[in-house]
Amino acid sequence: MTIEVGTQAPDFTLPDSNKEKVTLSSFRGEKHVLLVFYPFAFSGICTGELCQVRDEIGDYQNDAVQVLGVSVDTPFSLKAWAEQEGYTFPLLSDFWPHGEVAKTYGVFNDTAGFALRGTFLIDKEGVVRFAEANAPGEARDQAAWKKALAEVLG
């Protein structure tokens, strides 16, 4: 069961691709957060989705919104992928304890050991304003993200 809209987003701290710690609550009062879970770096659908974010970064990230990507990959894999694809937003490693943050958000596939394609928009107060989870192999409609961001930004 994914985290529901209107609930407080569970806080977490994860290392990014440079092994620097990123804490969700550090954005409170400052920025909304678009939290994008994806199964694996270097996989086809994941690359396509995050390249769309990269190519349309101004639609997703600005002075009021921070994009955070999360997968169960190691920071080393994430760094190589970010460099290869030119991602400028943080990619966070939910590697160990394996998928713990994805589990907290209800988007961990226990059978396969990876995060589903879960997307959460968390407002400046830490409240979930948009939530979705797509099955493995099912790409997301990022127009819904843009709509949710427009509503939060007013």
| Contacting residues for 26 by C-beta, under 8 A, at least 6 apart | none
Please tell me which residue in 3, 34, 35, 46 is annotated as part of the active site: 46
Q: Please state the φ and ψ torsions of residue 49, each to the nearest 5 degrees.
A: -65, -45
Active site residue 46: yes
CB 121 within 8 A of CB 33: yes
Distance between CA atoms of 110 and 34, rounded to whole angstroms? 24
Q: Based on the number of CB atoms within 10 Å of its own CB, is 136 exposed (0-12), middle (13-18) or buried (19 or more)? A: middle
Q: Classify 84 in phi/psi space as left (phi over 0), alpha (psi -120 to 50) or beta.
A: alpha
Q: What is the DSSP letter of 25?
A: G
Q: Indicate which residues carry an active-site annotation.
A: 46
